[in-house]
Amino acid sequence: MGNKKTKLGIPNGLLAAFIFVGGMWSSVVLVAFLIYTAFMEDDEFVKVSARRAAIITFGYEAVSYALGLFTRIPYIFTNDLGGYATVFGKINSVLDIAFTVIMLFFAVTALLNQDVKSSVVDKAAAAKKVCPKCGNTVAANAAFCNKCGEKM
């Protein structure tokens, strides 16, 4: 299909999808993927995907932790959370759902877009030739260069 292979031998879109799903599953798994991609992979698509997954995951965790703190602060003073905790609990539930949807979106996008990009680039490259005399790019089926007239 034209996907670039990672050093693991799998398509880079598939590894990027694993990174996003790993970030949904556990921060420890995501950190392992981040370390692997930083030191082992050369593919820029995989590296960008790992950074994006880290930003989303750790941003989500920071907001979720802050919401948890907000539910505990009133308890210190009143020993009664009442409806206050319920509101933050609902916000946190919505945040959980949004996080899951965003990570799944990026995982599926990584799988689909990488296939599309690679095949489009491969087809575009196959549809062109370079003139050996002047370096002009011409159509793959051209018999002569349209700049210098060299036979192709």
Sketch the domain layout of the chain as residue ranges.
Answer: 12-123
User: What confidence score (pLDDT) does residue 125 get?
Assistant: 55
- Return the beta strands (E) in the chain as ranges: 128-130, 137-139
User: What confidence score (pLDDT) does residue 1 get?
Assistant: 37
User: What confidence score (pLDDT) does residue 126 get?
Assistant: 61
Determine the Cα–Cα distance for residues 104 and 13; give it in Å rounded to an integer: 13
User: What confidence score (pLDDT) does residue 52 get?
Assistant: 93
Hey, CA dihedral for 11, 16, 21, 25, is it positive or negative? positive
- Count the alpha carbons within 13 Å of 46 in the hemisphere toward its beta carbon: 26
Determine the Cα–Cα distance for residues 69 and 5; give it in Å rounded to an integer: 44
8-state DSSP, 43: -
Determine the Cα–Cα distance for residues 72 and 1; give it in Å rounded to an integer: 52
Neighbours of 18 (CB within 10 A): 21
Distances 49 to 17, 37, 62, 106 between C-alpha atoms, Å? 8, 10, 20, 8
Which stretches in the chain have pLDDT values below 50? 1-2, 115-120
8-state DSSP, 5: B
User: What confidence score (pLDDT) does residue 32 get?
Assistant: 94
User: What confidence score (pLDDT) does residue 73 get?
Assistant: 64
User: What confidence score (pLDDT) does residue 76 get?
Assistant: 59
Determine the Cα–Cα distance for residues 22 and 33; give it in Å rounded to an integer: 8
Neighbours of 105 (CB within 10 A): 11
Q: What is the largest CA-CA distance in the chain?
A: 88
